[in-house]
């Protein structure tokens, strides 16, 4: 759980909820900095969602676990359609925002603290949050854990992006450095700043489709279907292997 000084995401969200403005800045460990989308994206109505999010949410069924729920937009959408949803985030202020906006079951919990104590789910939402797995080894461990807390026909809805699809020289150089260190190109180490708040350094993981399928080996999950949007981003619908 983040302490107050580390909860840059949460402070941005609660300020936005209270009508205040501010900008999020993302800093990468090679010194690259740039603006993030800002808190408004966490509150966006369905019509303003990314096309992949709109497509992904249609595959939700049964009881849902919303991982990295932010301000609760996906959870609220599903609640309105009769789903039981447990929303989790490691930001205490984000969870406070969720509760104020009407999320029925929002909990301060990191993706790394997911356990059978949460119950059994039919759908796991990782909408733009597959990156939270951090590195391939951690991803495999967490995927195995998600296997244990999902029903027989459980699914994971995960959005990621091919990190090498573009030609930005700053990113190309970063990917090359990662490869030289024996890492996947899309292993990122970043932190987010908002006003005087800063998150700890976070490991993020962006993967190509081929890299995703390599990570899935031995976890009990397989790619059921890919959905593309004409960009480096893609939706992977994961289902349980039958044998």
Question: How is the chain split into domains, by residue range?
Answer: 45-191+201-240
Q: pTM of the entire structure?
A: 0.95
45-191+201-240 belongs to which CATH class? alpha beta
Residue-wise pLDDT tens digits, 18-64:
999 888 999 999 999 999 877 888 999 999 999 999 999 999 999 99
What's the pLDDT score for residue 116?
Answer: 93
The DSSP element (H or E) to which 170 belongs, if any, is helix 169-180
Q: Which of 44, 219, 238 is nearest to 140 (CA)?
A: 219
What's the pLDDT score for residue 38?
Answer: 79
What's the pLDDT score for residue 1?
Answer: 77
More confident residue, 208 or 230: 208
Average pLDDT, integer, range 58-75: 97
Average pLDDT, integer, range 169-193: 96
What's the pLDDT score for residue 169?
Answer: 96
What's the pLDDT score for residue 243?
Answer: 64
What's the pLDDT score for residue 21?
Answer: 84
Rounded-to-integer distance, Cα 8 and Cα 198, Å: 5
Q: In what order do the strands lie in the sheet with 121-126?
A: 106-108, 85-89, 64-67, 121-126, 150-161, 233-240, 221-228
Residue 169 φ/ψ, nearest 5 degrees: -60, -35
What's the pLDDT score for residue 230?
Answer: 87
Average pLDDT, integer, range 113-137: 93
Q: What are residue 204's DSSP bridge partners?
A: 188
Q: Which residue has the tokens 């190109």?
A: 185
Rounded-to-integer distance, Cα 39 and Cα 14, Å: 9
Rounded-to-integer distance, Cα 85 and Cα 83, Å: 6
What's the pLDDT score for residue 39?
Answer: 86
Average pLDDT, integer, range 182-208: 96
Mean pLDDT, the chain, whole residue set: 95
């Amino acid at each position: 759980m983040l302490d107050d000084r580390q909860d840059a995401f949460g402070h941005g969200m609660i300020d936005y909820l209270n009508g205040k403005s501010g900008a999020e800045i993302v800093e990468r460990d090679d010194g690259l900095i740039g603006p993030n989308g800002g808190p408004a994206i966490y509150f966006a109505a369905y019509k303003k969602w990314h096309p992949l999010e709109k497509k992904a949410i249609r595959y939700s069924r049964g009881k849902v676990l919303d991982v990295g729920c932010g301000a609760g937009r996906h959870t609220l959408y599903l609640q309105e359609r009769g789903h039981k949803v447990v929303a989790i985030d490691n930001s205490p202020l984000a969870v406070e925002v969720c509760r104020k906006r009407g999320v029925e079951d929002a909990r301060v919990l990191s993706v790394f603290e997911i356990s059978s104590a949460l119950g059994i789910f039919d759908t796991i939402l990782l909408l733009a949050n597959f990156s939270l797995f951090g590195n391939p080894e951690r991803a495999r461990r967490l995927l195995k854990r998600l296997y244990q807390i999902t029903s027989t026909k459980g699914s994971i809805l995960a959005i990621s992006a091919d990190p090498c699809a573009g030609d930005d020289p700053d990113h190309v150089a970063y990917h090359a450095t990662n490869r030289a260190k024996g890492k996947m190109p899309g292993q990122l180490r970043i932190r987010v700043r908002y006003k005087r708040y800063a998150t700890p350094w976070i490991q993020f993981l962006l993967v190509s489709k081929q890299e995703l399928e390599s990570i899935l080996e031995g976890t009990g999950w397989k790619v059921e279907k890919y959905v593309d949007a004409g960009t480096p981003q893609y939706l992977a619908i994961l289902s349980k292997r039958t044998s």
